[in-house]
Amino acid sequence: MSLATSSGLRAYAAVTAAYWAFMLSDGALRMLVLLHFNGLGFSPVQLAWLFLLYELAGIVTNLSAGWLAARFGLTSTLYAGLGLQIGALGALAMLDPAWSIPASVAFVMAVQGVSGVAKDLAKMSSKSAVKVLAPAGDGLFRWVALLTGSKNAVKGAGFFLGAALLALAGFQAAVWGMAAVLAAILLAVVLWMPEGLPCGVKGTKFASVWSRDPAVIRLSLARMFLFGARDVWFVVGIPVYFQSVLSDGTAEGRREAFFLIGGFMALWIIGYGAVQGMAPRLIRGDAAAQARRWAGWLVPIPFALAALALAAGGPALWLTLTLVAGLLLFGFVFAVNSSLHSYLILAVSKAERVTMDVGFYYMANAAGRLIGTLLSGLSYQWGGLPLCLATAGAMAAGSWLAARRFGGAEQA
C-alpha cells in the first residue's frame, strides 16, 4: 500500500503520533530512574543493573514481536506496547522508599523489563509500518529518516522532561502523570486508527524469525556494536561524571544538576534526531558503501576523548567542555550511521518477512544496548571516565569491522 492513498497517510500519521508519545515517556522514565536512584546513593554498577533487564527484554521481545506482528497484525503489537508502558509506569509509582537497596534494585529491574518489552513492541511495529506504507522510489529512505529522526528528537525532549519533573514534582507524581497522559493517547489512537496496516497471517511459524540472509545478519552485527558504543558512555558514565562535576552535594545543587544533565542529554538526543532526519540529504551514492565509510569515521572520536580524560587525571572545566563538544560530534556521526542502518534493513528485507527481519535486527540492537549498559557501569567503576570512553571506542571499532563486510545490492 502506498502513502499516496488517504488511508495510508492517516495510518502513517497515527503510527508516528503513537510512537512519539511512547518515546517521550521512555526518555523521561530513563532520566527519572537514573537521577532519582543516583541521588539515593546507588553505585554506577547498581545503576547499570536497573537497566539491564530493560535491554535483555528487548533481545527476546524483538524476536517474538516480529512473529506476533506477522501473526496478529501491526496494530495489535503497537497497542500492546503502549498498554504495557502504562502498566510499567503505574507499577514504578508503587516503589516504597523504605525498601532496602537490593529489594529496590530487583523491583525496578522487573518494571524496567516490562518497559523494555513495551518499547520494542512499539518500535518494531512503527518501523515495519514504514516498509508497508512508504511511497515507491526514494520514499523509503525519506520516511524512515523522518520517523527515526523525529522519534529521537521527541525522546530527547523526554530526557529533559524527566529531569524537570523530578526536580519540580518529585518521583511518584511524575510517574503517575506520565501514565495518565499515555493512557489518554492510547485511547485516542485506538479510537481513530485508520485502516492501512497488515492484519496478520495465521499459520506464521515462530522459527521463521531467524534470518538466514547474510546482509541482514551482518547489518545486525554492525548495529549491535554501534549501539553498544553509544550506551557504554551514555547510560551511566557521562551522567554520573556530570553529576560529580555539577552538583555541590546540597539539595539545591542536585536540583540544578538534574536540569543541566537532563538538558545535555536532551540536546544530544534532539540533535541526533535532527541529523537522522537530514541524513537523506547528506548521503550521496551507494548506501552500503556510505555505511562502511561513516562507521570508520566514528571510531577515533571516543578514543581521543578517552586520552584527554586520562591526561586530565580528574574532573576539570576544560575536560567537561571538551567532552560536551566531542560527544556532540560523536552524536552527529552516530546519527548518520544509525539512519543508514535503519534504511538498509528495510531496503534488504523482503516485504513478506519485513516484520521478522526488523525484529531480528532490533534484537541485535537490544543486545548492543545490553552489552553497552553493563559495560557502562563496570568500566566506569573499574577505570573511571577514561576506561568508559575507551570501551566505547572498542565497540565502535567492532561496528566498523562488521560494516566492512556488509554488501549486496539494495532491494526495493
Cβ neighbours of residue 325 under 8 Å, at least 6 residues apart?
none
DSSP assignment, residue 98?
Answer: T
| Residues in Cβ contact with 187 at an 8 Å cutoff, skipping those fewer than 6 apart | none
Residues in contact with 360: Cβ distance below 8 Å, sequence separation at least 6, in sequence order? 62, 63, 66, 209, 210, 211, 216, 220
Residue 385 has a pLDDT of 92
Inside any domain, residue 265: yes
Q: Residue 411 falls within a domain, yes or no?
A: no
In a domain, 412, yes or no: no
Residue 114 pLDDT: 86
Determine, yes or no, domain membership for 410.
Answer: no
Does this model's pTM top 0.85? My answer is: no
Predicted local confidence at residue 152, as pLDDT: 73
d(CA 301, CA 394) in angstroms, rounded, equals 11
CA distances from 99 to 145, 171, 263 (A): 44, 15, 30
User: Can you say whether residue 250 is alpha, beta or left, with left for phi > 0 and alpha for psi between -120 and 50 degrees?
Assistant: beta
* SS3 assignment, position 14: helix
Note the pLDDT of residue 9. Answer: 63
Residue 331 C-alpha cell reads as: 552524536
Domain count, the chain: 1
| pLDDT tens for the 412 residues of the chain, in order | 343 455 556 666 777 777 788 888 888 888 888 888 877 777 777 777 777 777 777 777 776 766 676 667 777 778 888 898 899 888 888 888 778 878 887 888 888 888 888 877 877 777 676 666 666 555 667 777 777 777 777 877 888 888 888 888 888 888 898 888 888 888 887 777 666 555 555 555 555 566 677 888 899 999 999 999 999 998 888 888 888 888 777 777 777 887 788 788 878 888 888 888 788 788 877 888 899 999 999 999 999 999 999 999 888 889 999 999 999 999 999 999 998 998 888 888 776 667 678 778 888 888 898 899 889 989 998 999 999 999 999 999 999 999 987 764 343 3
Domain carrying residue 341: 3-197+205-405
Nearest to 15 by CA among 128, 181, 118, 111: 128
| CATH code: domain of residue 53 | 1.20.1250.20
Decide if 58 is inside a domain. Answer: yes
| 26: helix, strand or coil | helix
26 belongs to a structural domain: yes
Buried/exposed 146-185: b ≥16 CB within 10 Å, e otherwise: bbbbbbbbbbbbbbbbbbbbbbeeebeebbeebbeebbeb
102 domain-assigned:
yes
Around 278, how many Cα atoms within 13 Å sit in the side-chain half-sphere? 11
Distance between CA atoms of 159 and 136, rounded to whole angstroms? 35
To 5 degrees, how large is the angle CA 48–CA 50–CA 52?
70
The number of beta carbons lying within 10 Å of the beta carbon of residue 310 is: 15
Q: Which three cell numbers stand for residue 378?
A: 563496570
- CA angle 19-66-371, nearest 5°? 80
364 inside domain = yes
